[in-house]
Structure 1
């Protein structure tokens, strides 16, 4: 029997990047793209390489293009690290695993380097396949922590919980990463939201990516750690935007949600240097009346629009800049 698990990209609707600094955020998954993992019983443990794990090229140019788009390691390292973290967790929790081996392979069409949580989607799908194969029960909040451990501890990838929580729950989630709560229980307070309450939303990204996520935002960590007042104040504001957005969801107050999304990006722009190409995407979307902010750390944007006429103008305007616009199909697995 083949076990097949899927995981989808994440879009941060509001609050980021305060989620990495004991703040609050709201995020959902959308099924327009997916990472897929297949796992089945075999005599030996075999991790099969896929299209992102190329070792044969027609030229040096093709090799360089592959490295620029997929990095040096592809996805095999993600699977290996996930298997190790799953095994270590089971040993620490005295969970007995049977001695079966397996073959595992993955595939993903999630656009890379756009802040859509493509790597964590592969890891989460892998972890869920292992859980199913061995019949292990892991609470969703702990699952999100394990996925983060794969990236932070095993692979040294800077990441936060937001993406992994949304991917673990597979529903829109409000997340409160209050420091005292995190220290007490090891994870935040998570509340599932009604997918039907979200306004008209779009996601946009460049088809031929020339610049991806904003590396410069990483200096926020140092500035936060030394207690820079401007940074601490911004974290409080982003968390406040999240609370206000959550309240607006309940009353379907689209104007407030539109304003908060714009304010979220504007605050980020005032605090962190943002590349010209990323700013251009936001400004182009706003030029037709839509709201706009990053879905994650740059490379893709998310926002609201009023009606089909505005969405049409949004697509036409951004297409001139080689930017693709989609309507996200929000995942809501009860």
Structure 2
């Protein structure tokens, strides 16, 4: 038995980072990039290392470069934590597990450390493989919360539900993380939208090294927990932007959402310390007439553009900044 399961990169179109704070977001999948987990039966349970997990380097410079690109941890911890959490979930809910062992290996071409949800893609693909191997049923609306628990509870990585929802549902999803709903049921209210409702959208990402999400979110979480007025108010504003964009898309007014995406980033810029490289990327895209905001936590942007002429203009403007521009494959 050979099982191969994938999960793709994603872009937070609008509303982020309110997903981790009982807000609302819209996200879409990026099929251009993905993580794949392979599972096959074996005598012992084995998790094979990927090139990101190695500990032998050609020089001290090579070690430093590897850490800047991939962080201090590869994917093994993600798989180990996923298997542990999967087992505990099955035991808790009396889901029978056979006694056969397996080997896991993973690969990913999702650009690292640029806010396109590479870690949660590996975890989601792992859960899909385990579900098939053990032939258990886990409802689609519950899987994102289980994936999030791997990061939040097992690995103490701060994150919200958005990435795990879109990687579980795929396509385009409007997410309402209503606090009463989430705290009572453990998941939000998820509405799948027709990808055809999207206007022309692009994704651009730096090919240089970037700070990871784990560092980026820490201070905002603390300020929100302390009830700082500016942060609490911003989460409501981001949620409202997501609701307005959702309503415009459903009404066939997708070509009008660009200013709201810009507003999403401008609010973030007032509250977060953002590196000059990220600001330059956003401003270069806007100078071409496109809208621009972060796909996640920095290193990649998403926005709308009018036509192919504007898209090519953006590519020419961003290439000198070591930024690649793509048309995301949503379907």
Pick the TM interval, shorter chain: over 0.9
* Segment of structure 1 superposing worse, 198-207 or 218-227: 218-227
* Cα pair 1:214 1:275 within 8 Å, conserved: no
User: How far 1:322 sits from its partner (Å)?
Assistant: 1.5
- Give the equivalent residue in structure 2 for 1:58: 58
Q: How many residues align?
A: 331
For 2:214 and 2:288, locate their aligned partners in 1 and report how far apart those are by CA, in whole Å.
25
- Give the equivalent residue in structure 2 for 1:43: 43
- Give the equivalent residue in structure 2 for 1:198: 198
User: How far 1:213 sits from its partner (Å)?
Assistant: 4.7
- SS for the counterpart of 1:69 is helix
- Give the equivalent residue in structure 2 for 1:30: 30
CA RMSD of aligned residues (A): 1.4
* Segment of structure 1 superposing worse, 89-98 or 46-55: 46-55
- SS for the counterpart of 1:25 is strand
TM-score (norm 1): 0.96
Structure 1 residue ranges without an equivalent (≥5): none
The answer to whether the aligner puts 1:182 opposite 2:182 as a matched pair is: yes
The answer to whether the aligner puts 1:158 opposite 2:183 as a matched pair is: no
For 1:210 and 1:120, locate their aligned partners in 2 and report how far apart those are by CA, in whole Å.
18
- SS for the counterpart of 1:141 is coil
For 1:230 and 1:57, locate their aligned partners in 2 and report how far apart those are by CA, in whole Å.
45
User: How far 1:261 sits from its partner (Å)?
Assistant: 0.4
- Give the equivalent residue in structure 1 for 2:94: 94
The verdict on how the C-alpha distance between 1:210 and 1:170 changes in structure 2, with shifts beyond 3 A counting, is closer
The answer to whether the aligner puts 1:129 opposite 2:119 as a matched pair is: no
- Give the equivalent residue in structure 1 for 2:117: 117
TM-score (norm 2): 0.97
- Give the equivalent residue in structure 1 for 2:326: 326
User: How far 1:210 sits from its partner (Å)?
Assistant: 4.8
The verdict on how the C-alpha distance between 1:284 and 1:212 changes in structure 2, with shifts beyond 3 A counting, is farther
User: How far 1:209 sits from its partner (Å)?
Assistant: 2.3
- SS for the counterpart of 1:104 is strand
For 2:302 and 2:212, locate their aligned partners in 1 and report how far apart those are by CA, in whole Å.
15
For 1:47 and 1:191, locate their aligned partners in 2 and report how far apart those are by CA, in whole Å.
35
User: How far 1:54 sits from its partner (Å)?
Assistant: 1.3
Structure 2 residue ranges without an equivalent (≥5): none
- SS for the counterpart of 1:290 is coil
The answer to whether the aligner puts 1:71 opposite 2:71 as a matched pair is: yes
For 1:43 and 1:255, locate their aligned partners in 2 and report how far apart those are by CA, in whole Å.
55
For 1:319 and 1:207, locate their aligned partners in 2 and report how far apart those are by CA, in whole Å.
10
* Cα pair 1:12 1:28 within 8 Å, conserved: yes
- Give the equivalent residue in structure 2 for 1:5: 5
- SS for the counterpart of 2:107 is strand
* Cα pair 2:52 2:70 within 8 Å, conserved: yes
For 2:229 and 2:131, locate their aligned partners in 1 and report how far apart those are by CA, in whole Å.
44
For 2:47 and 2:211, locate their aligned partners in 1 and report how far apart those are by CA, in whole Å.
31
Q: Show CA shifts across 1:173-217 (max 9, x none).
A: 111011111112111111111111111111111112255559455
The answer to whether the aligner puts 1:262 opposite 2:249 as a matched pair is: no
The verdict on how the C-alpha distance between 1:290 and 1:33 changes in structure 2, with shifts beyond 3 A counting, is same
- SS for the counterpart of 1:274 is coil
For 2:108 and 2:163, locate their aligned partners in 1 and report how far apart those are by CA, in whole Å.
16
User: How far 1:143 sits from its partner (Å)?
Assistant: 0.9
* Cα pair 1:213 1:299 within 8 Å, conserved: no
- Give the equivalent residue in structure 2 for 1:167: 167
Q: Show CA shifts across 1:31-83 (max 9, x none).
A: 11110010011111111111111122222222221122112221111111100
- SS for the counterpart of 1:277 is helix
User: How far 1:255 sits from its partner (Å)?
Assistant: 4.3
* Cα pair 2:69 2:210 within 8 Å, conserved: no
* Segment of structure 1 superposing worse, 205-214 or 87-96: 205-214
The answer to whether the aligner puts 1:105 opposite 2:90 as a matched pair is: no
- Give the equivalent residue in structure 1 for 2:237: 237
- Give the equivalent residue in structure 2 for 1:219: 219
